[in-house]
Amino acid sequence: MIWLSETIDFPSYDNATNDGVLALGGDLSEKRLIHAYKNGIFPWFSDGEPIVWYCPAERMVLYPEELKVSKSMRQVLKKTTYSITENTAFKEVIFNCKNVERKEGLGTWITNDMEQAYFKLHTMGIAKSIEVWQGDELVGGLYGVEVGTVFCGESMFSKISNTSKLAFIHLVRKGGYKLIDCQVHNAHLESLGAREISRNQFLQLLKS
């Protein structure tokens, strides 16, 4: 396994493991994170572990024109119970993504350092959030990193059923992106139309 030095360059994609691990170490500086996302690479690790950089052989993506909205979700969308905003509560969104209870046990991979790093990207206009409100209460949302016309989704949360889906559908319909990067296979997003493409296909789309 290749450990990163002080330079921001990553090893060749040929060095990635079967699980998509490309390198270890380095830091979460704005410069390195921006360089990583521009090259289809993202960090994913747990607190107390070295930073792990991924670029999976199969990439989960959603083409906006392939979005699937179920009949039940269409009914939810028609309700006026919720309001949706963009980039008004980034700190709160990432905090909830980090701390919300999940059936699958995920969420704790957002370390304190990652939380701070992505907020710095947000202040630069690179990391974005979508918020779903019920009155004055934040009940769902998502955040990710913008690379040109590609939105690289990082995490989402729901305090009320379907509110993360509401945020995702809003992102797809209103964001003006040509592609949503969902990173790795996720049944929740597959139900909304996301599918896997090869690493090479994804990188070509990202660079174009």
pLDDT digits (tens, 9 = 90+) for 165-185: 999 999 999 999 999 999 999
- The amino acid that residue 11 corresponds to is P
- Sheet with 52-54: strands ordered across: 3-4, 21-25, 52-54, 42-43
For 75-126, the DSSP string reads HHHH-SS-EEEESS-HHHHHHHHHHS--TT---TT--HHHHHHHHHHHHTT-
Side-chain-side CA neighbours of 183 within 13 Å: the count stands at 18
Side-chain-side CA neighbours of 82 within 13 Å: the count stands at 26
Domain 60-207 is of which CATH architecture? 3-Layer(aba) Sandwich (3.40)
Q: Residue 131 has which token pair?
A: 């918020």
The span from the CA of 89 to the CA of 130, in Å, is 8
The span from the CA of 40 to the CA of 86, in Å, is 24
Under DSSP, is residue 152 helix (H, G, I), strand (E, B) or coil?
A: strand
Residue pLDDT, tens place only, 99-122: 987 665 544 579 999 999 999 999
Under DSSP, is residue 199 helix (H, G, I), strand (E, B) or coil?
A: helix
* Same CATH fold assignment for domains 3-56 and 60-207: no
**CB within 8 Å of 178: residues ≥ 6 apart:** 63, 64, 149, 150, 205
Residue pLDDT, tens place only, 119-136: 999 999 999 999 999 999
pLDDT-based confidence at 208, cuts 50/70/90?
A: confident
- pLDDT value for 197: 98
- pLDDT value for 107: 47
Mean pLDDT along residues 74-102: 91
pTM here is 0.93
Q: What is the mean pLDDT of the chain?
A: 93
The span from the CA of 52 to the CA of 24, in Å, is 5
> Is it the case that residue 153 has pLDDT exceeding 70?
yes
Domain 3-56 is of which CATH architecture? 2-Layer Sandwich (3.30)
Domain ranges (residues) in the chain: 3-56, 60-207
Calculate what percentage of the chain has a pLDDT beyond 90. Answer: 85
The span from the CA of 161 to the CA of 29, in Å, is 35
At 14, give phi and psi (nearest 5°).
Answer: -65, -20
At 148, give phi and psi (nearest 5°).
Answer: 60, -120
Residue pLDDT, tens place only, 37-69: 999 999 999 888 899 999 999 999 999 999 999
